[in-house]
Chain A
Amino acid sequence: MSGIELLLEYLTKYFPILLFIFVALAFGVVTLLISYLVQPKYPEPEKLSAYECGSEPFSDARMPFPVRYYIFAMLFVIFDIEVIFLYPWAVVFNDINKVSIIGLVEMLVFIALFLVAYVYAWRKGALEWD
C-alpha cells in the first residue's frame, strides 16, 4: 500500500479525531488570542507584580512536592497499564471461537494477580494519605 493511500485511508477512518484535535487546538489559541485582543492595558508596577492573597509572594512557586504524590502517580501508572491490557481483550472477547473460555480464565488470572497487589497496597495503607 502506498503512502498516499495509507494517508487517505487514515483520513477517512480517523477524520473525527483529526477534527477533534483541530478544535481543541483552536479553542486554546482562539481563547488566548481574544483575551489578548480585548483586554484593557494599563500597566503599573503594582499590577505587574504577582498577586498572592494580597501579600507579596515570598518564595518561588516551584516548591518541592511531598513524596506521597509520587506514590499515587506511580500507582496510577501501573493501574493505567493494567486497564489498557483489558482493552484488546474486550475487543476480541466477542469472537468466542477464537478466545472462548481460555481467554476468560486468562483474564481472571491477570485480574487475580492485580488484586494481590491491590489487597497488599490497601492493607499496607499505601492508598491512604498519611
Chain B
Amino acid sequence: MTSYGADLLVILPELIVVGAACLLLVLEPLTPPSRKELLAWLSLGALALCIGLTGGQISVLNLRVSAFSDLVVVDGYARFWKLLLYGVTGLTILMSLPYLKAERLQLGEYYGFILLALSGMMVMVSGADLLTIYLGTELMSLSLYVMAGLKRSSPRSLEASAKYFVLGAFSSGLLLYGISLLYGVAGGTKLGAVAAAIGSRGFDDPLLLIATILLAAGFGFKLAVVPFHMWTPDVYQGAPTSVTAFMAVASKAASFAAFLRVFVEGLGGLKADWSNLFLLLCLVTLILGNLVAIVQTNIKRMLAYSSIAHAGYALIGLVAAGRGMGESGGASGLASVMLYLALYAFMTLGAFAVIGMFRKGGLEGEDIEDFAGLAKRQPLAAFLMLVFMVSLAGIPPTAGFIGKFYVFMAAVEAGLAWLAVVALIFAAISAYYYMRVVMVMYMREPDPSAGEVPQLVASPALTVVLACAVAGVILFGLFPNPLVSLALQSVLPLK
C-alpha cells in the first residue's frame, strides 16, 4: 500500500470543504432560525482556509501531484480553477446572506449544499480519470438541482428544479454512455490511458467517434451550449437569484474545466476532429444566444441567454486551441478560455447581486422595465449595473473586453480570422440588449401608475460583493497582465 497520508494531504482542500459541509448539516437543526447566518460564516471560514492552502502553492504552481492511484491530480490547471471557484463560492455566500433574508429562506442547508457543490466541482477540476470526473459532475449537479428548488413557495422555482433535474439526469446518461464506450475502445478510464490508446491506434474506430460525440453532448448540457441549452432560461429564471449566479458562474467554470481536461488530456489526439465539431456548436451558440437575448423582457432570462452566448465565446478559444499550429498556438487558445471564464465570473456575479437585491415590496424586480429611472433614484446602483453591462458587452476598458480580446486573438493566431469577425459582429449585436438595460436606467422614467418603485436594498455583505465585482471588472480591465500570465502558466499541455 502506498502512503495514504500523502494522498490525503493532496486533497486536503476537498476534505476541509466536505468536513465543513457535514458540520453544517449536523449543526443546522440545532441552530435557531435567527442565527443561521453563523453557518454562512462557518462556510466562509472553511473557504478562507482553502484559499490559503491552494494559494500558498502558487509559487510551485505547476508542480503536478497525483493521488489515489492517479485518479486525482493537482496541477497548475487544477489550482487555477480551484482558486477561481473558491472566490466565486465565497462571493455567492456573501451575496446569499441578504438575499435569503429578504426571501425568508433561512435555510442552513443552503450553505451545506453550496459547499457540497463546490466539493463536486473541485473533484471535477482535479479528476484525472473519467470516473472521478463523472462522479464530481454528479455531485455538483445533484446539489444544484436541490438548490434550484429551494424557494418552495414559488412554483417557478420547483419547476426549474424539476426541469433541471430531468434534463440534467438525461445529459449525465449521455456522458456516462460516452465514457463507457470510450472505456470499451481504450481499455481504461484514466485520461492518460485513453490518450495512449488513441495515440497508438489513431482515429479509425467509429465507436471512438460516437463516444466523442456523446461526451461533447453530455458536457454541452452542463455548459449550456446550443443545441443543449433548452433548460437554461427556465432554470435561471426560476431558481433563487443567488443560486442562478452560482450556476451561471461556478458550475459553468467547473464544467469548462473538466471539459477542457477531458478533451485536451484524454482526447487530445483527435483535436482535428473535435475542433470541427466545436466550431459548429460555437457558431450556433453565438447566433442563437445573442439573437434570442434581444427579445427578452425578464432580466434573469436575458442573462440566461447571455450566459449561453458567453459559453459560445469561450468555445472559440477551444476551437482555436484545436486548430492551433505547434505548441504555443494550443496554449494561448486554452489560456484564453481560462481567462475568459475568470473574467466572466466577476461581471456576472456583480449583475446577479444587483438583481437579487433589487426589490419591490417583498419581491424581486425582475423585469427590465423595473430598472426605469434607477439612475435618478440610486445613481450608484445604476452606475454599478452600467459597469457590469458594459463589461458583459465587451466594451473597453472593462474586463469583458480583455476576455474577448484574448479569445479573438487566439482565433486569429489559429488562422480563424473569419470566426473572430463573426464573433465580433455578434458582440456588437449583444451590445444592443445590454445597453437597453442601461438606457432604461438612465433615459426612462418609471411608470407613475405602477405604484411602488423597486429599490436596491443595501447591506454590508452586498456592498462587499459589489465592491469585489466592480474592482475585478475594472482592475482586470486595466491591468490584465497578472491574470493573463497566471492563465498562461497554468494551462494544460496540448500535444
Q: Per the CB under 8 Å rule, do A and B touch in the complex?
A: yes
Taking Cβ atoms with an 8 Å cutoff, the residues of A that contact B are 100, 102, 112-113, 116-117, 119-120, 123-124
Cα distance A40–B194 in the bound complex, in angstroms? 70
- Please state if A120 and B1 are interface contacts (CB–CB under 8 Å): no
Query: Beyond A113-B22, A116-B22, is A124–B29 a contact (Cβ under 8 Å)?
Result: yes
Query: Beyond A113-B22, A116-B22, is A123–B1 a contact (Cβ under 8 Å)?
Result: no
- Please state if B1 and A116 are interface contacts (CB–CB under 8 Å): no
Query: Beyond A120-B28, A123-B30, is A102–B22 a contact (Cβ under 8 Å)?
Result: no
1/0 per residue, CB under 8 A from A, across B32-76: the answer is 000000000000000000000000000000000000000000000
- Please state if A120 and B4 are interface contacts (CB–CB under 8 Å): no
- Please state if B29 and A102 are interface contacts (CB–CB under 8 Å): no
**Of all chain B residues, which has the CB nearest A119?**
B26
**Of all chain B residues, which has the CB nearest A103?**
B1
CB proximity of A100 to chain B, nearest CB, Å? 7
Cα distance A113–B30 in the bound complex, in angstroms? 18
- Please state if B1 and A100 are interface contacts (CB–CB under 8 Å): yes
Chain B residue numbers with a CB within 8 Å of A120 are: 25-26, 28-29
Chain A residue numbers with a CB within 8 Å of B28 are: 120
Most B C-beta atoms less than 10 A away, residue of A112, A119, A120: A120
Cα distance A123–B28 in the bound complex, in angstroms? 9
Interface range, B side: under 10
Taking Cβ atoms with an 8 Å cutoff, the residues of B that contact A are 1, 4, 22, 25-26, 28-30
Chain B residue numbers with a CB within 8 Å of A123 are: 29-30
Interface of B is mostly: helix
Cα distance A112–B29 in the bound complex, in angstroms? 18
CB proximity of A59 to chain B, nearest CB, Å? 28
Query: Beyond A100-B1, A102-B1, is A116–B29 a contact (Cβ under 8 Å)?
Result: no
Chain B residue numbers with a CB within 8 Å of A102 are: 1, 4
Cα distance A123–B24 in the bound complex, in angstroms? 13
**Of all chain A residues, which has the CB nearest B28?**
A120
- Please state if A116 and B26 are interface contacts (CB–CB under 8 Å): yes
**Of all chain A residues, which has the CB nearest B29?**
A123
CB proximity of A13 to chain B, nearest CB, Å? 27
CB proximity of A127 to chain B, nearest CB, Å? 12
In order of increasing CB-CB distance, the 8 nearest A-B pairs are A123-B29, A116-B22, A120-B25, A119-B26, A116-B25, A124-B29, A102-B4, A116-B26
Chain A residue numbers with a CB within 8 Å of B26 are: 116, 119-120
Cα distance A100–B30 in the bound complex, in angstroms? 37
Q: Pull 14 A–B residue pairs with CB atoms less than 8 Å apart, ordered by A.
A: A100-B1, A102-B1, A112-B22, A113-B22, A116-B22, A116-B25, A116-B26, A119-B26, A120-B25, A120-B28, A120-B29, A123-B29, A123-B30, A124-B29
Cα distance A120–B25 in the bound complex, in angstroms? 6
Chain A residue numbers with a CB within 8 Å of B22 are: 112-113, 116
CB proximity of A94 to chain B, nearest CB, Å? 17
**Of all chain B residues, which has the CB nearest A121?**
B29
Most B C-beta atoms less than 10 A away, residue of A100, A116, A124: A116
CB proximity of B123 to chain A, nearest CB, Å? 15
| 14 more CB-based (< 8 A) A-B contacts, given A120-B25, A120-B26, A120-B28 | A100-B1, A102-B1, A102-B4, A112-B22, A113-B22, A116-B22, A116-B25, A116-B26, A117-B25, A119-B26, A120-B29, A123-B29, A123-B30, A124-B29
CB proximity of B295 to chain A, nearest CB, Å? 39
**Of all chain A residues, which has the CB nearest B15?**
A109
CB proximity of B456 to chain A, nearest CB, Å? 35
Cα distance A73–B26 in the bound complex, in angstroms? 23
Most B C-beta atoms less than 10 A away, residue of A100, A117, A123: A123
**Of all chain B residues, which has the CB nearest A112?**
B22
Chain B residue numbers with a CB within 8 Å of A119 are: 26
Cα distance A100–B2 in the bound complex, in angstroms? 13
Cα distance A116–B115 in the bound complex, in angstroms? 15
Chain A residue numbers with a CB within 8 Å of B1 are: 100, 102
CB proximity of A103 to chain B, nearest CB, Å? 10
Cα distance A71–B25 in the bound complex, in angstroms? 19
CB proximity of B186 to chain A, nearest CB, Å? 24
CB proximity of A36 to chain B, nearest CB, Å? 44
Cα distance A112–B30 in the bound complex, in angstroms? 19
Cα distance A113–B23 in the bound complex, in angstroms? 10
**Of all chain B residues, which has the CB nearest A106?**
B4
Chain B residue numbers with a CB within 8 Å of A124 are: 29
Chain A residue numbers with a CB within 8 Å of B25 are: 116-117, 120
Cα distance A68–B213 in the bound complex, in angstroms? 41
**Of all chain A residues, which has the CB nearest B1?**
A102
Chain A residue numbers with a CB within 8 Å of B29 are: 120, 123-124
Cα distance A123–B1 in the bound complex, in angstroms? 39
CB proximity of A62 to chain B, nearest CB, Å? 23
**Of all chain A residues, which has the CB nearest B30?**
A123
Cα distance A119–B30 in the bound complex, in angstroms? 11
CB proximity of B346 to chain A, nearest CB, Å? 34
CB proximity of A8 to chain B, nearest CB, Å? 28
CB proximity of B164 to chain A, nearest CB, Å? 18
Cα distance A100–B4 in the bound complex, in angstroms? 12
Cα distance A117–B29 in the bound complex, in angstroms? 12
CB proximity of B114 to chain A, nearest CB, Å? 16
Cα distance A110–B29 in the bound complex, in angstroms? 22
**Of all chain A residues, which has the CB nearest B21?**
A116
CB proximity of A76 to chain B, nearest CB, Å? 19
Cα distance A123–B22 in the bound complex, in angstroms? 14
Cα distance A119–B22 in the bound complex, in angstroms? 11
CB proximity of B281 to chain A, nearest CB, Å? 36
Cα distance A116–B19 in the bound complex, in angstroms? 11
CB proximity of B2 to chain A, nearest CB, Å? 10
Cα distance A124–B28 in the bound complex, in angstroms? 9
Chain A residue numbers with a CB within 8 Å of B30 are: 123
